[in-house]
């Protein structure tokens, strides 16, 4: 007897990968596809804290001096603030944690995610040609995160230079 299971939430993804095509040009259509069901990882407590800390760091360093410049801007122009994320659940939660730290917000991440983070599945399009740079960035980020030192200045500089 088949068992029915629930496949929902922000940590899941369904993809259809065309395997066989029929026709030519604009008339070309997939006739066979593979359905891929993915369950992504959950943002860890350490990951959430790191994203919040990076958000606070961003706020303090992008708006130095007054300390409330970005917060005042946020309260005035909240409806104009745009935070984009890929459609991966863990990435969306990281974006919400970053926003929480950057905007000095209180409470759980899910309401922040719903109100401030927009998902854009096209954000990762075209990254297959950037694998060398991505691997170098991942290695450097891993070194920074696991070093135990406060190296956020270097991280922010690295991110700015790479963008």
- For residue 160, pLDDT over 90 is answered with no
Over the range 70-92, which residues count as b (16 or more CB within 10 Å of their CB) and which as e?
Answer: bbeebeeeeeeeebebbebbbbb
The residues that bridge with 32 in the sheet, in sequence order, are 20
Same domain flag for 124 and 58: yes
**Helix pair 69-77, 45-62: axis angle to 10 deg:** 100
Same domain flag for 81 and 98: yes
Looking at the whole model, is its pTM more than 0.75? no
Is the distance from CB of 35 to CB of 15 less than 8 angstroms? yes
Q: Is the dihedral of CA 117, 138, 108, 110 positive or negative?
A: positive
Q: With bands split at pLDDT 50, 70 and 90, how would you rate the model's confidence at 51?
A: very high
Q: Is residue 154 part of a domain?
A: no
Span 86-95, pLDDT tens digits: 878 888 999 9
Q: Is residue 143 part of a domain?
A: no
Same domain flag for 56 and 118: yes
- For residue 163, pLDDT over 60 is answered with no
Q: Is residue 139 part of a domain?
A: no
Same domain flag for 31 and 49: no
Q: Whole domain around residue 104: which residue ranges? A: 45-129
Same domain flag for 57 and 112: yes
Count of domains in the chain? 2
Same domain flag for 49 and 125: yes
Structure tokens at 85: 């994320």
Same domain flag for 57 and 88: yes
DSSP string, 45-56: HHHHHHHHHHHH
């Amino acid at each position: 007897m088949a068992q029915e299971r629930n496949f929902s939430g922000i940590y899941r993804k369904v993809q259809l990968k065309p395997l066989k095509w029929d026709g030519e040009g604009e008339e070309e259509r997939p006739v066979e596809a593979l359905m891929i069901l993915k369950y992504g990882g959950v943002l860890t407590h350490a990951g959430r804290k790191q994203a919040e800390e990076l958000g606070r760091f961003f706020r303090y360093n992008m708006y130095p001096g007054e300390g409330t410049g970005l917060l005042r801007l946020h309260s005035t122009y909240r409806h104009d603030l745009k935070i984009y994320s890929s459609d991966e659940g863990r990435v969306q939660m990281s974006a919400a944690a970053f926003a929480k730290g950057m905007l000095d917000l209180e409470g759980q991440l899910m309401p922040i995610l719903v109100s401030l983070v927009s998902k854009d599945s096209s954000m990762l399009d075209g990254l297959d040609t950037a694998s060398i740079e991505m691997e170098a960035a991942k290695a450097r980020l891993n070194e920074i995160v696991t070093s135990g030192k406060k190296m956020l200045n270097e991280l922010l500089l690295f991110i700015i230079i790479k963008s």
